Chain A
């Protein structure tokens, strides 16, 4: 057992002793037992999890630190009206919003009834990072949206690190949406210092009948940050969930999305982009489970991989026996910009019902030479021609964004990322306004 495992187990022990919520306490204990058997068992030869082991070999502090000096955070997206709440250093919730018409609190404060679905989706046995998260989470957003509630403004849930020491965080979010409700959520992880971080994040989401959720997840972290983010969504009848994953920068990122369509007529749409370069590693694991008839699902994931970077897409659609009239499709497209860049793309369909429409497709390619020549023949430099093509490639996903300011912001960030401008200030992009980005050197913490 290495020292990180030891300190996480000690942390879990302390948290179990202090846990007042008996059902959560039970879950923590079971998860800890499970983790004790697993340890961090990632193997570098398994490409789905490769490099996680590298980040896990580092030293991190795990204990809860009182948050004192809270810097002014503002997760700026120009022209967006939203309500923001912050989770600082994995444990301290700052929520200054009033009258949101919903409950937003720290997960460590939830009651027995509120926690009824806690850990219902993330199974400890499946992954040692799930078990340790359940055993040793120190905080997270608990969002409870009652029936018949339309939350007008997007909610920004921002998790920020401001500790100088290299840190390991287990963050746990639980989102419950009642029937006939609507909400848009923007989640980002951010750090104001550029040290080594390991963020192990689990979000469980339960969506009621006829409800509508848009979930935006942005990753714009420094090359020394590893994020393992797992989202589990369970959808009831006729609910619609759109998820958007924007993976702009991170040293290591594993994003997992599990969608369960458990009642008739539920629809799940997931869109993702990943821009990977240098020695970064990003993997996207998508698992859609069609468990009821007449449900629809679609995924479009597109990636650009440069330098020595590596990307993984592992998309799984399972259509269970009762899920007749399922419509499911999945597309993963990749562009490789260097000889050494690599993509592993594995779409996977498993169908047990007979009346279904399913499709999937994967492409890995280079930029279209003919198009590059055509543009150059009109006087456009090869760099600009490449940029136009790359932006066009990603544009198909950006166009799926419903919230206009986010769309504008994302296409701007993607442009800057593709121009190589983001790396100038790669640990504070989310907070940089456009004006600041333009002379990034002066305004950003290096």
Chain B
């Protein structure tokens, strides 16, 4: 199993957010997580990525059968975990090229490989840019600086394509995308899908799941997964909302 989360309890500043969440993800699977605002979807994504502002009060996260609680954020990334941010961060003064090259080379160094030769790197940038139909000029700018909302989301998928993760968590990558961008982003994801990797897709909209067809849909409600099913569950949620889960 690629990812196994058991009875996870997470809090921040004494406030309990995840209250016993369990989730299993195998290679080759796509899992969608849906749920109302503020129920802990982004928290779950951040905690898997290793953000240390949250405190883990119980349970465990196993990744490739390792308890990763002691792993740094960058180690997790270099081991193949990728988080597409709900709100990508602008980093003025750090160019996309420098950023991507540093990231790729850190991973290579982690894996005991030599730095990527410049021509190979540039060719890869070109290839992946086309995959997400990203405008050429964007990679000449600072990371996300002055990017539109949609461009930022495309940039996340572009980075994912560059880094070729094994577990990709997409946190509302569809929010703020127009219909063309949604198609482009979905195509990007579908092209990267393989039997070796897995996706966790956090979304509010069933529409995305028409493009990226999930194997499982989970409802995250009040810090727990309260229902799991197949893609039909998403349709049902679209229709009825989360009323049924309210206590």
**Contacts from A to B (Cβ < 8 Å):** 368, 370-371, 373-382, 384, 388-389, 391-393, 395-396
CA distance A392 to B143 in the complex (A): 11
Interface-forming stretch among B25-33, B94-102, B223-231? B94-102
22 A-B residue pairs with CB within 8 Å: A371-B89, A373-B51, A373-B73, A374-B85, A374-B91, A374-B143, A375-B91, A376-B72, A377-B74, A377-B82, A378-B77, A379-B74, A379-B77, A379-B106, A379-B110, A380-B106, A381-B72, A388-B94, A388-B99, A391-B93, A393-B93, A396-B93
B159 close to A (CB within 8 Å): yes
A393 to chain B, nearest CB (A): 7
Q: Does the CB pair A382–B72 fall under 8 Å?
A: yes
Smallest Cβ-Cβ distance to B165: which chain A residue: A379
**Chain A, interface SS category:** helix
Within the complex, the shortest CB–CB distance from B172 to chain A, in Å, comes to 16
B93–A392 CB distance below 8 A = yes
The 8 A-B residue pairs with the shortest CB-CB distance, nearest first, are A392-B93, A379-B77, A376-B73, A378-B103, A374-B89, A379-B78, A376-B74, A379-B106
Interface size class of B (residues with CB under 8 A): 20 to 34
Say yes or no: A379 contacts B89, CB within 8 Å: no
At the interface, yes or no: B149 with Cβ under 8 Å from chain A? no
**11 further interface pairs, Cβ-Cβ under 8 Å (given A377-B77, A389-B91):** A371-B91, A373-B51, A373-B73, A377-B85, A378-B103, A379-B163, A381-B72, A382-B72, A389-B94, A395-B93, A396-B93
Shortest CB distance A411–B (Å): 12
Given contacts A377-B49, A377-B83, A388-B102, contact A370 B89 (CB under 8 A): yes
A300 to chain B, nearest CB (A): 13
Report the minimal beta-carbon distance from A275 to chain B, rounded to whole angstroms: 16
Q: A387: nearest residue on chain B (CB-CB)?
A: B102
For residue A377, which residues in chain B have a CB less than 8 angstroms away from its CB? Answer: 49-50, 73-74, 77, 82-83, 85
B20 within 8 Å of A (CB atoms) = no
Please give the distance in Å from A384's CB to the nearest CB on chain B.
Answer: 6
* With A378-B159, A379-B103, A379-B110 as contacts: A392 and B92 at CB distance below 8 Å: yes
Q: With both chains docked as a complex, state the minimum distance between the C-beta of A314 and any C-beta of chain B, in angstroms.
A: 26
Please report the C-alpha to C-alpha distance between residue A384 and residue B77 in the assembled complex, in whole angstroms. Answer: 15
The contact of B88 among A374, A382, A388, A389, by CB within 8 Å, is A374
In the docked arrangement, what's the CA distance between A388 and B99, Å? 8
A378 and B93 form a contact (CB under 8 A): no
Residues of B near A389 (CB, < 8 A) are 91, 93-94
With both chains docked as a complex, state the minimum distance between the C-beta of A390 and any C-beta of chain B, in angstroms: 10
Q: Which A residue sits closest to B110, measured CB to CB?
A: A379
